[in-house]
Structure 1
Amino acid sequence: MTEAVIRVEELAVRFGTSPPIFRHVSFEVRRGEVFIILGGSGCGKSTLLKAMIGLIEPAHGDITLLGERLAEATGDARRALLRRLGVMWQSGALFGSMTLAENVEVPLEEHTALPAEARAAVARAKLGLVGLGDAAAKLPSEISGGMAKRAGIARAMALDPPILFLDEPSAGLDPITSAGLDKLIVDIARGTGTTFVVVTHELQSILAIGDRCIMLDKAAHGMIAEGDPRKLREESTHPTVRAFFRREAA
């Protein structure tokens, strides 16, 4: 079995004295796979992602990234660990006053000593990888939503992280653009060995790109399924899982 690059054990997140968003969440993500965190609105998908990248401190449980326990990594060691993760947020989160190339260069300026010429070369290469080589000089306001998502992925890849986290990459996209983004994710995963953790509730994308998945449920305050999404669609006997994969009313 391929090595696990992420381990989540008995994770729970709550805010203040409110009931937990989720609890008893445990799973592994293997090197080079496209792993999906799915579920309905409000189930805690994005909250789980934020916990996994160190933006939210869990109430209970452990997260291990690339062999290091996140809770034990502090100071420079924590920053070095988190630099090995790339993140793309829902809208792409590009800086509006910067060109696409300048956006991709931001992590390189922050975290490397590369000269300007080398940063520009890396930015061109990353934009070329996502099909935006001819759009490097454009501003975010001059491109489509799908292009902005691709540019966000290029920026997330700037430091060559072994793990990429994507938050709702297909949200708001038309079916053709969404399918193109799905293909890009699979091509990068297969071509570079990059591990993807993708938060989404878009069923078509889940089935197109997911090697494995977990499903969170708001009512259950946690996980209700884990496995190959195609097998879950065909074989799960859990009523909520069946309803999700078969697009049935609950």
Structure 2
Amino acid sequence: MAQSDTDPVIRVEGLTMGFDDFVLMRDLNFEVRRGEIFVILGGSGSGKSTLLKHMIGLYTPQAGRIWIGDADIAHADGERFEAILRGMGVMYQMGALFGSMTLQENVRLPLEVHTALPRSAMDAVARAKLQLVGLGAFVDFMPSEISGGMQKRAAIARAMALDPSVLFLDEPSAGLDPITSRELDRLIRRLARSLGMTIVIVSHELASIFAIADRVIMLDKETRGIVADGDPRRLREESAHPWVRRFLGGDHDEAANGEEASA
């Protein structure tokens, strides 16, 4: 990691997430450091995607603050909120490309909404972003004409259209075969290192996590909090929490005993 470990670009302070009287997670505290690939882990229903949606301003916390740089997205509105959004890019789980638009038109869309660039300049930026993810030859293709892995790449290109300082990816490897998933992992790693971009990912794909993550946090729906924070390779072998080691595949004896007990 090129930047200082003490240089956070995101700070989550005392975050409580829930709906009406239901509390999903309470008092979450963590930082995302500049230039790192940061992965949010957890079991089914633990609130991984919900946390990401709070971090990008789609949901309002029950309590707490979410600092993106020097701005609290949880309490910003109007022009301040729009300015924060322009500084981040988001790729949703299934890509969310518009099927009636070409790849170039999809990637151009954020520029149309947030800038006053002439059309020729927006087209040039869109083509450059598609080239960056290996889709330079597919600018005029419709989403239905390309593979699922290529759709994910196009969605990442669109998320980078405004040159964000932080990129959020929700389950980027979901639905992909192992070879395509590894190719996407390599792309994400290359983008992070070559562009110095901070990337926040929600994932449960262990192979991808170990391939790309600098650091992970793990959410636990039983305690409604964070049970681990660190390098996934070290947590797999050294975490004091048995469930964390088992989740990451490091507690082989306990996992085997669990399988025998359930047989």
Common fold: TM-score over 0.5: yes
Q: Hey, what's the Cα distance between the residues in 1 that align with 2:196 and 2:241?
A: 33
Aligned to 2:27: 24
Contact 2:66 2:73 in 1 (8 A): yes
Q: Hey, what's the Cα distance between the residues in 2 that align with 1:202 and 1:74?
A: 35
1:235 aligns with 2:249: no
Give how far 1:66 is off: 1.3
Aligned to 2:46: 43
Aligned to 1:244: 247
Aligned length: 249
Point out which structure has higher relative CO (alpha carbons under 8 A, 6+ apart): 1
Give how far 1:221 is off: 1.3
Contact 2:65 2:75 in 1 (8 A): no
Aligned to 1:217: 220
Aligned to 1:5: 9
Residues 161-195 of structure 1: per-residue CA shift (max 9 Å, x gap): 00000000001100010001001011000000110
Root-mean-square deviation over aligned CA pairs: 1.2
Instruction: Give structure 2 stretches of 5+ with no counterpart.
Output: none
SS at match of 1:243: helix
Residues 138-171 of structure 1: per-residue CA shift (max 9 Å, x gap): 1010111100100000000000000000000001
TM-score, structure 1 normalization: 0.97
Q: Which among 183, 187, 190 is matched to residue 184 of structure 1?
A: 187
Identity %: 62
SS at match of 1:71: coil
Choose 1 or 2 for highest CA Rg: 2
Relative to structure 2, which stretch is displaced further, 73-82 or 107-116?
73-82
Aligned AA (1:174): D
Give how far 1:217 is off: 1.3
Instruction: Give structure 1 stretches of 5+ with no counterpart.
Output: none
Residues 222-246 of structure 1: per-residue CA shift (max 9 Å, x gap): 2110001110011112121011011
Residues 46-96 of structure 1: per-residue CA shift (max 9 Å, x gap): 000000111101011111001212234221111111111100001110000
In the TM superposition, 1:26-175 aligns within 5 A as 26-175=29-178
Q: Hey, what's the Cα distance between the residues in 2 that align with 1:148 and 1:70?
A: 29
Aligned to 2:211: 208
